[in-house]
Chain A
Amino acid sequence: MTGSPPAPPPAPAPPAPAPTRDLLLPPKRRPGRGESPSASAWRDLRTRPLVLACTGVLLLMALMAAFPKPFIAVLTHDSGRCELSDSRVGPSLDHPFGFDLQGCDYLGQVVRGSRPSLVIGIVVTAGALLLSVVLGLLAGFYGGWVDGLVSRVTDVFFGLPFVLGATVVLVAFPDHGLGAMTLVLVALGWTTMTRVMRAQVIGLKDADYVQAARSTGARPLRLMTRHLLPNAVTPVVVVAMLNVGNVISGEATLDFLGVGLQYPALSWGLQLNAAQAYFLDFPHLLAFPALFLSATVLSFILLGDAVRDAYDPKLK
């Protein structure tokens, strides 16, 4: 004992600070608080003007691809026939985009050309997403030789240069329809997403909730589909969103080079290919498909960026 004065009685507890009260009381439903991360990301997205603009552009393009006829009927005087005497005539009031090389109404052709681009962009991304989620789950979950095999195959496909790889395969198909293009673009487009998915699964598979599920007897299939998949898939979906624009751009490049869709088909890439010899004298042949293609790709990229920012603010 040192003869020090006895410790003062403990001060009366201060009034409970706000956070504690918040913990004790049921949460008030305020907008923006207490909602799930995905709901808040969704709310964040809806309030941005750029996102609305991009969505608007894409909706317009999608409507054009699905129902080209009303657009053409309203916007131009396309008789449905092509007169060679109209070849390469510039824009006018009756024909806002002018005429193409064959003398067809160019606005009609450009509107009809939206379909292959959008279909390929979405189908290819969906296919590559599915493939990479399955492969990434298997490789990340089982590890060992499964992981080794998947990773080495990924390395090989990752090592193929896009244009050269696509060209070599496409020439191997007798006719380059939409189906062949889709297969080739999926084959060259799944690697990055697979790597992301595998890394996500490896990071999550030892988490407590997975261990808990495993110890209660959950089978691998259930662990993968119910526990790992929903928690690991978000970054992969974001990469996929960013990828749609690249796929559309890549498809148009192959069309442009002449190894993609073949002539009777209509697409922006083919129109650009036809325009290349004449664009110095007839710039409208280049300008309109280029504008439509670039607007679509730009909208997908900006939308993908916005989705990534909304789901992962620290990447901003």
Chain B
Amino acid sequence: MGRYIARRLLYAVPVLLATTFLIHAMVFVLPGDPIQGLAGDRPVPPAVLAELHHRYHLDDPLVVQYAKYLGGLLTGDLGRTFTGEPVADALTGRWQVTLRLGLTAWFLETVLGIALGVWAALRKGRWADNAVLAGTTLVIAVPVYIVGYLAQLLLGVRLGWFPISGTEDGWPTAYLLPGLVLASFGVAYVARLTRASLLENLRADYVRTAGAKGLPRWRVIVRHTLRNSLIPVVTFLGVELGSLMAGAVVTEYVFNLPGIGQQVFQAIQLREGPTVVGITTALVLVYCLANLLVDVLYGLLDPRIRHDR
């Protein structure tokens, strides 16, 4: 197992390098001079311009900039924003919001998605199954911000159950509605995945054997069938952990939550390259680590896939 994890970690290194370089290169080719952009229409004295270019490594070629950035990254330095603040400091107070939102959504997705999927699969062909299928298709088709506005309008304004924006009410009150909206696509997807996978496994020989041995039905379903059926679901949920943090930008925008997504957005509009790269790299790191975790969980769930040779 240890060797397997080490190999997966090594494998993640080139992917991370290439991804950070790709983002860095894209940000580098953003049009316009960011220093001039900071000053707006007023002229900047050439000496100041040169000094600032030098301080933020803007006068180096792309590869050198990237190497310097990477060196900083290895020492835990994510770079500086154009107001001189370290990117890491700019993230404090922000990442908690996104993390809370992402984890709330992930939790809702796991619990609601699997529960709905199991419920539908055990009642295949009846109204419960059809309702879950129709409902999930609809949720997958409607873009997330429209779901967000509908939720704000119905659950927030008309019924008054949840606050509709901001984080003043703290966790969990302020995060439930945005979390549910962010999770809506995933809940639908997990429910369909669980249903399909469970239905396929319920027909398997070992399930009939377990039933024939006289095991109670819930035990056959929970211990024998569900355990095997959850493998594709776990894969999806692992990938989702990263995607939810990244996809939070839309939800944070709709619900006006002061999280990382909102900050990335402001940074892009202000052309703050280092801020964008710093944050996006952190998000990509989360994504890769979540995938690594999934691969390890894979091995625990299904002994056939234990890659340790």
Contacts and interface: CB of A to CB of B under 8 A. Distances in A.
A and B held together in a complex? yes
Interface of A: 152-153, 155-156, 159-165, 167-169, 171-172, 174, 245, 249, 252-253, 256-257, 259, 272, 276, 279-280, 283, 286, 290, 293-294, 297-298, 301-302, 305
A286 B141 CA distance: 16
Interface in B226-275: 242-243, 246-247, 249-250, 253-254, 264-265, 268-269, 271
Interface string B121-136: 0000000000000000
B18 A276 contact: no
Interface of B: 14-15, 18-19, 22-23, 26-27, 29-31, 137-138, 140-146, 149, 152-153, 157, 242-243, 246-247, 249-250, 253-254, 264-265, 268-269, 271, 276, 280, 283-284, 287-288
A294 B243 contact: no
B261 to A, nearest CB: 8
B283 A161 contact: yes
A161 B140 CA distance: 18
Contacts of A161: 242-243, 246-247, 280, 283-284, 287
B243 A257 contact: no
Given A164-B249, A298-B138, A159 B149 contact: no
A166 B234 CA distance: 27
Given A279-B149, A290-B146, A301 B15 contact: no
A256 B284 contact: no
Contacts of B23: 160, 165, 168
A297 B280 contact: no
B142 A297 contact: yes
Contacts of B246: 161-164
B272 to A, nearest CB: 11
Nearest to B15: A155
A172 B138 contact: no
B145 A256 contact: yes
19 contacts: A152-B14, A152-B18, A155-B15, A156-B15, A160-B284, A161-B246, A163-B247, A164-B264, A167-B249, A167-B264, A167-B265, A168-B268, A171-B271, A172-B26, A174-B31, A280-B153, A290-B149, A297-B141, A298-B142
Contact of A160 (B19, B29, B152): B19
Contacts of A165: 23
B157 A280 contact: yes
A137 B23 CA distance: 28
Contact of B268 (A160, A171, A253, A290): A171
Nearest to B141: A298
A174 B32 CA distance: 9
Contacts of B271: 171
Contacts of B141: 245, 249, 294, 297-298, 301
B137 A301 contact: yes
B39 to A, nearest CB: 19
A168 B146 contact: no
B33 to A, nearest CB: 14
A253 B264 contact: no
Contact of A169 (B26, B143, B287): B26
A305 B137 CA distance: 10
Instruction: Find the residue from A163, A172, A257, A290 having the highest chain B CB count within 10 A.
Output: A163
A259 B268 contact: yes
Closest 6 CB pairs of A and B: A161-B246, A298-B141, A156-B18, A297-B141, A290-B146, A294-B142
Contact of A159 (B29, B254, B265, B288): B288
A275 to B, nearest CB: 8
A249 B149 CA distance: 16
A174 B31 CA distance: 7
Given A167-B268, A280-B157, A283-B153, A293 B143 contact: yes
A286 B254 CA distance: 13
A298 B137 contact: yes
Contacts of B143: 249, 252-253, 256, 290, 293-294, 297
A46 B146 CA distance: 32
A302 B137 CA distance: 8
A272 B268 contact: no
Nearest to B27: A168
Contacts of B14: 152
Contacts of A174: 31
Contacts of B276: 168
Instruction: Find the residue from A155, A293, A297, A298 having the highest chain B CB count within 10 A.
Output: A155
A156 B19 CA distance: 6
Nearest to A290: B146
